[in-house]
A and B are shown apart, each in its own frame.
Chain A
Amino acid sequence: MRVTEQMRYDGVAQNLAQLSSRQAKAAQEAQTGVRVNLPSDDPIAAAQLARLSASQSQVAARRNTISSVRGDAELAESSLQQASDLMASAKELAMQGGNGSLGASERATLAQQVKDIRDQLVGIANTRGTSGYLFAGSATETQPFSATGTFNGNDDAHIVDIGNSTPSAVNASGAKAFTSAGGRDVFGDLDALYNALNSNDSTAISASLDGLDRSRSQITNAQATIGLTINKLDASDSVQSAIDLQNSKSMSDIGSVDPAKAYSTLVQLNNALQQSVTVGKSILDLAAFKQF
């Protein structure tokens, strides 16, 4: 084959251009550690990465949800614990009041203490969290219990998506904990005790004990329910955190380069480029006319 000058120049230039472009890509991979810089670098991987990053965004949103609702759930649990303690105190007062040796004025003093307990309980049932009144259902901006214990809230669940197939309720039901919707009207039971003590009616005092017990266990049940909700939040967070980890690992597996391999490729191409420059120089030096 007849070889002309232009062919020599073109050949050398083309080889150098090809090697340079491969070397530049290898250098980028080695420097950034990223294998898929553009969708065309690996279309399937790029599509997977887009889906994984969407999944990561959802996981992050769920974990944010869990951490922001968990505070209110804990506050509800501790509030219900206090409420249950108050009911225990009320029962003690009822037992004291049932003692036959007590007179009317002593029972009136006990009645005053029962009234204090009831006022405290109204306060607890009106506790506010980050998203409004904890025990008001969805009427989060309306104080759920009046001073007399009338319920102005509802029994709506506050649902959020924490990754379970059905959205989860994360609030404690004030209706079920404190009102007749749960079986006993807690404030009514306290009022019954107060009235019995005030009217020095020992039969009525004894009769109130059963209601007080049932009211307390109603509150304890609500406390257990919100406790379970907190457990569910924690369990979901673990699941989401595991998904997060798995996604991160997949993204790294799919999108990252093996550093050792990237480095050795780069070194290889650097050498090839250097060699190609040397060879190219000697090819261009070859021209016979220089010998004339």
Chain B
Amino acid sequence: MAGLNNLLNVARDALTAQSYGLNVTGQNIANASTPGYVRRVAVLETQNLGTQSGGGVRAAGLDRVTNDYIERRENQATGTASAATTRDQTLASIEAMFNDGAGTGLGSALNDVFASFSALATNPNDTTTRANVLAAAGAFADRANQTGNTLSQMQIDLKNQAQDTIDQVNQRAQEIAKLDMQIAQATMQGDDASDLKDQRTQKILNMSGLINTHTFTDGSGNTVVQVAGATIVDGQHARSLSLDMNADGSLKLLVDQPGGGGSEITQFLTGGKLAGIKEARDKDLFDVSQKLNTLVFDVASAINTQHALGTGADGGTGRNLFDIGASSTNAARDVRVSVDVFDHPDRIAAAGSVLSLPGGSDNAVALSKIFDTQVAFGNTKTAAQAYGDIIGSIGSTRASSQRDVETQNAILTQVQSMHQSQSGVSLDEEMVNLTKFQNAYQAASKMIGVADQLMQTLLNTVGR
């Protein structure tokens, strides 16, 4: 009799175990396109009945199919790709600003200034040609101001972006610490922590996109999260990052110390959006601004020197055409048509001396000749050469950044694909599992039927 009852028990356990398998399959199918979902495998095992035979099946729990190595690789690749993409966005904006194809750029404004000097030489006593010099100088200053202002504004925007990114990192660190706590609790209570673990993996991946993130498990089994080399989550405790500026205006990244204060980790910032922002702002944007300021300062100074040597139609001399500071700092943003000559076409110094008024054109010619003179970049380039250099260097920086984005994204895709291959849900596979569990469930039901029939037969026989 014990045999028949055991058969029923085995069938009951089988129904439970197979329906557990069906549930897990269902969960996998339902989450086939959930980001960060790691496929589960129902772990079935035979009931251990000691030395007795006839043990049934039992659902021992879930297996989350993960691979730490691949996850770490994905975090790293996400950070690098995100840094490259973020940097490229800024470079794209810079490039658009220096795209002279439309003929409205700084380069053509500068060319127009020299053309206006040439026209002035043809008819120095004509108010219109003089007014044109002022107009061209004004247009050049406007373009320089606009470009300089936009670059400054971008610098401010990028700093704000950096702050936002750091806020997000800090937020994620809090969330991860909280998840760690929940996972510890669930594990202690013997609950399934798979969903929580999925969430944590996803948060860490998300953090990797913001800043280079590394995770490892310490000796006591806690997950340690490090960003830019500094521990930010240790078990269930989170620390925070903060942003500061160096004297030269570049960004400085600090991790807050438990006892107060912060220690600088800027030099370990190698990945994530924050690294992209830092490189774009403190290197690319800085380089372009510096070159632009130097060009504007050098050219405006050379024009000023020559202009001051000449004499205006009113007989005045020693006047500048541009107001510009003593150094190239912010020259593009601050250059203006000099108050000495603003609104006074007659003060444009076309003549070389008061003796050759009003028809003298020698200073106008000398001004137009600056076009061919190496006045820029430490007197090594003409204005047009220097401007061409800036365009070329912006172009090649952007081109190499675009290649970098492509390469890093290809690597990321490759790693993501590896991760998917390991942990993603395959619907084909799940369909096979579904059928497998369904069939097993049906077979177990059949077993109950058979046991029941046997029991009936036996009861009938005995009862007669």
Bound complex: CA A75 to CA B182 (Å): 97
**Interface assignment of B385: CB less than 8 Å from any CB of chain A:** yes
Q: How large is the interface on B (under 10, 10 to 19, 20 to 34, 35 or more residues)?
A: 35 or more
Complex Cα distance, B389 from A51, in Å, reads 9
Contact (Cβ within 8 A) A10 B365 = no
CB distance from B285 to the nearest CB of A (A): 16
Q: Is B318 an interface residue when CB atoms closer than 8 A count as contact?
A: no
Determine whether A195 belongs to the interface, using a CB cutoff of 8 Å to chain B.
no
Q: How far is the CA of A41 from the CA of B101 in the complex (A)?
A: 12
Interface residue A141 (Cβ < 8 Å from any Cβ of B): yes
Closest to B115 in A: A61
Task: Report B-chain residues with C-beta under 8 Å of the C-beta of A1.
Answer: 421
Closest residue of A by beta carbon distance from B430: A289
Pick the contact of B421: A7, A37, A141 (CB < 8 A). Answer: A7
Within 8 A of B (CB), among A1-32: 1-7, 9-11, 14
The answer to whether A7 touches B420 (Cβ under 8 A) is yes
- A119–chain B nearest beta-carbon distance, Å: 25
**Shortest Cβ distance from residue A230 to the other chain B in the assembled complex, whole angstroms:** 15
The reply on A38 being an interface residue by CB < 8 A is yes
Complex Cα distance, B91 from A40, in Å, reads 10
Over the window 119-147 of chain B, the binary record of Cβ atoms lying under 8 Å from chain A Cβ atoms (1 yes, 0 no) is: 10111111000000000000000000000
Known contacts A138-B357, A160-B118; A57 and B111 CB within 8 A of each other: yes
Say which residue of B115, B355, B399 sits within 8 Å of A43 (CB atoms). Answer: B399
Known contacts A51-B388, A292-B435, A57 near B115 by CB under 8 Å: yes
Which of B92-100, B173-181, B231-239 is the interface stretch?
Answer: B92-100
Pick from A36, A43, A292: contact of B431, CB below 8 A: A292
For B368, what are the chain A residues with a Cβ–Cβ distance below 8 Å? 61, 161
Interface centre among B108, B391, B425 (most CB of A within 10 A): B391
CB pair A47 B391 closer than 8 Å:
yes
* B residues less than 8 Å from A51 (CB atoms): 384-385, 387-388
Report the stretch among A78-86, A129-137, A178-186, A264-272 that lies at the interface: A129-137
Question: Which chain A positions have C-beta within 8 A of B8?
Answer: none
Q: Is B114 an interface residue (CB 8 A)?
A: yes
Task: Mark A53-81 against chain B: 1 for CB-CB distance below 8 A, else 0.
Answer: 11101101110110011000000000000
- Which of chain A's residues have a CB closer than 8 A to the CB of B351? 138
Indicate which residue in B101, B359, B431 contacts A140 across the interface (CB closer than 8 Å). B359
Docked CA distance A11–B413 (Å)? 9
A147 an interface residue at 8 Å Cβ cutoff?
Answer: no
Q: Do the beta carbons of B421 and A161 come within 8 Å of each other?
A: no
- Does B358 lie at the interface of the complex (its beta carbon under 8 Å from any beta carbon of A)? yes
- In chain A, residues 131-169, which have Cβ atoms closer than 8 Å to a Cβ of chain B? 131-132, 136-141, 154, 156, 158-161, 167
Q: Which residues of A lie under 8 Å from residue B396 when comparing CB positions?
A: 40, 43-44
A127 at the interface (CB under 8 A from B): no
> What is the number of residues of chain A that contact chain B, defined by CB distance less than 8 Å?
59
B111 touches A160 (CB 8 A): no
Known contacts A156-B356, A158-B361, A55 near B384 by CB under 8 Å:
yes
Question: Whole-angstrom distance between the alpha carbons of A26 and B95 in the complex?
Answer: 20
* A131:B427 contact, CB within 8 angstroms: no
The interface centre, meaning the residue of A40, A44, A159 with most chain B CB atoms within 10 A of its CB, is A40
| Closest-CB distance, B112 to chain A (whole angstroms) | 7
* Contact status A132-B358, CB under 8 Å: yes
Known contacts A2-B421, A43-B396, A138-B356; is-contact A130 B391 (Cβ 8 Å): no
Sample of 15 further A-B pairs with CB below 8 A, known A43-B395, A60-B115, A154-B356: A4-B420, A4-B427, A9-B33, A10-B420, A38-B96, A40-B396, A43-B398, A50-B387, A53-B100, A69-B122, A154-B355, A156-B355, A160-B121, A161-B368, A288-B427
Q: Which residues of A does B touch, CB under 8 Å?
A: 1-7, 9-11, 14, 34, 36-44, 46-51, 53-55, 57-58, 60-62, 64-65, 68-69, 130-132, 136-141, 154, 156, 158-161, 167, 287-289, 292
- Listed from nearest, the 7 A-B pairs whose CB atoms lie closest are A39-B395, A47-B392, A43-B395, A54-B384, A57-B111, A140-B359, A4-B424
B-to-A contact residues, CB < 8 Å:
32-33, 91, 95-96, 98-101, 103, 107-108, 110-112, 114-115, 118-119, 121-126, 351, 355-362, 365, 368-369, 371-372, 383-385, 387-389, 391-396, 398-399, 402, 413, 416-417, 420-422, 424-431, 435
Sample 21 A-B pairs with CB under 8 A, ordered by A number.
Answer: A4-B421, A5-B424, A38-B398, A39-B98, A40-B95, A41-B399, A46-B391, A47-B388, A47-B389, A47-B392, A49-B100, A53-B107, A54-B388, A57-B108, A58-B115, A58-B118, A138-B358, A139-B357, A287-B428, A289-B428, A292-B435
